[in-house]
Structure 1
Amino acid sequence: MGRKRSTGVAPATQADPAEDRRFVTALARGLELLRCFKPQDRWLAHQELARRTGLPQATVSRLSFTLTSLGYLRHRPDSGEYALSPAVLSLGFSVLTNFEVGRIARPFMETLAEHTQAAVSLGVRHDTSMVYVAHCRSTARLILGLDVGTRLPLAETAMGRAMWCCMAPGMRALLAQRLATLDPSSWPQRQGALKQAEQDYARRGYASSESEWESEIAAIGVGVDLGDGREPLALTVGGAAARLTGALLHENFAPALIQCGRDITAAIQAGDWSD
């Protein structure tokens, strides 16, 4: 009888990935910690995380600190509890979530669009861009011709700047590194604009972009951070820069935009659609 030729591949049942030199134990433990959270969980105590993972409490402390710093976990210092952050859901579930969020947000967006006679958009971050997941136009004749799926640069737009201002510091640092790597020559100017956006957002509650991305477009934006582990979004009002200037944009439209963001957040949090 002829000898069987070996394929050189061990049966999957005989291989232990943890024994492979390519296996990163720390990464595996971090993912295991994230998988502890069940659909019905909002906040879990440090001791509960250790119990569910079977890891030493010191290891859980290091992992939870790292994941919180990177924005994948939220932390309540007063109780020591942790919750999944929006960054986690953006890894896999953001598409389903964003479609449903867009459906719930649309009535509020339509009201805001008619009030401002401008375009109202809801978007999420994808790498260094923002992508529209919902868009409403007013009945005005001169209006932005953008629609769902439109991709905008993050650093130069009100939508992107609003998202930037709502990010966890760790995720913001990673994104800054990504932006600097992709375009080193433009990064100093973009970094300055983003720092200014942080100051503006802290002072007045919204970010703006006036004739910076496109010379004909002006917009203001707010973050829609639901605070329960879902993907954060950004809501904007935008239109022709020749019309959206000065007091009209900053004194009339801004309060309405901020309130619309709050109304959308409240409507989503009051719903039972996330189960």
Structure 2
Amino acid sequence: MDLPSVGLGTMGIDDPEPIATALGVGYRHLDTARIYDNEGVVGDGLAAGLDEYDVSREDVTVATKLWIDDLGADDVRPTARESADLLGVETLDLLYVHRPRGAYDPETTLPALDRLVVDGLVDRVGVSNFAIDDLDRALDVLDAPLAAHQTELHPLFYKPELLDHAREHGYTVVAYSPLAGGRVGEIDAVVDAAEAHDTTPEAVAIAWATAKESVVTIPKASSERHLRANLAAADLELSPAETAAIDAVEREEELFPE
């Protein structure tokens, strides 16, 4: 899926203004979820931003996710319809299975998503927080191409095998929490690179993620200053040695475990 290197994660945003501002400064990928309880806020910000900044709706990817309670075969359609209404869109550009838990059953949930694609309510299907086995099963069952896998990815939590799988099967990895919950400033390899480039650890973390093949990222930001900084970070080029040092950081600091 052709997504920009940096999109906007909206978990915790409860004001439409940052959404509209994000569109104004150049964001073209907005990510939310049922469980965030802010689809209406994102929809209001989307509408305001499209109008205020003369942005074409067709240029913006609007993504949301079905929570684990929404994944029964009879629940997928009405829940997706409600999400589209709250977001103020006719079509959900990208609809994810948020986690393979709860009511999720690949044999019934994924065909229900396929039907939404056929009917035009959903353009692309994605999954989130899947393991390799879950991804393989989804690829087997889905008729629609798997467009994206959203997963936690930052210098303290990085699973190269997920990126290898994405490259092998031709879908995009959407990295959430790229700033490690604000902890990137505590990582020596990240701080060293930031000092070498006269930038921030946050910019280095975003650049490190987006430089990886098939990876885009969706940091959350609310102020215009941070929105602009995160967007610009994708243009930062780290040296191979800097990238290798961050790749070698000891990990397993998952912020959002199963």
TM-score by length of 1: 0.28
TM-score by length of 2: 0.29
| Higher radius of gyration, 1 or 2 | 1
